[in-house]
Amino acid sequence: MTKSTLLTAFAALVAAATFAVADENHETIEKVMKEGLKGDTSPMAKVLDGDASDDETKSLAALVKTMHGTKAPVGDQAAYEKKVAELIAAMDAVAGGDKGEAAIGRLEKAQNCKACHTDHKPKD
């Protein structure tokens, strides 16, 4: 094999790996949004309304934690990580038993879709 053939093959492998990570990243974020946060009857809506059981709240916390380590689809990675970390921390506080007004308010602010979508959702 020539050097240029090897470089081309390597570049193809790197591109394939990058797309695989991007797909996995997208699937993780989409799963959290669809299964946990989206809609008036979502687990998050139930938690914020005080209608979720302890098990439902803990399950949602576990689902939200899957976003740790994901990459920002677009925008500043550090800002994205800060938003994800705050969502996880706010969810953990509520799942840990803090159902006070301040904790629920913190969670409501942290899970705000528009705040994240404005900076990190790719434009179609």
What ranges do the domains of the chain cover?
3-120
In which residue are the tokens 């938003």 written?
83
Tell me the two tokens of residue 111: 């899970």
> CA-to-CA distance for 68 and 87, rounded, in angstroms?
10
Sign of the dihedral defined by the CA atoms of residues 106, 119, 35, 86, in that order: negative
pTM score of the predicted model: 0.81
pLDDT at 1: 60
Task: Give the residue from 30, 37, 52, 38 showing the smallest Cα distance to 88.
Answer: 37
Q: What is the pLDDT of residues 12-42, one digit of tens each?
A: 444 444 444 457 788 999 999 999 999 999 9
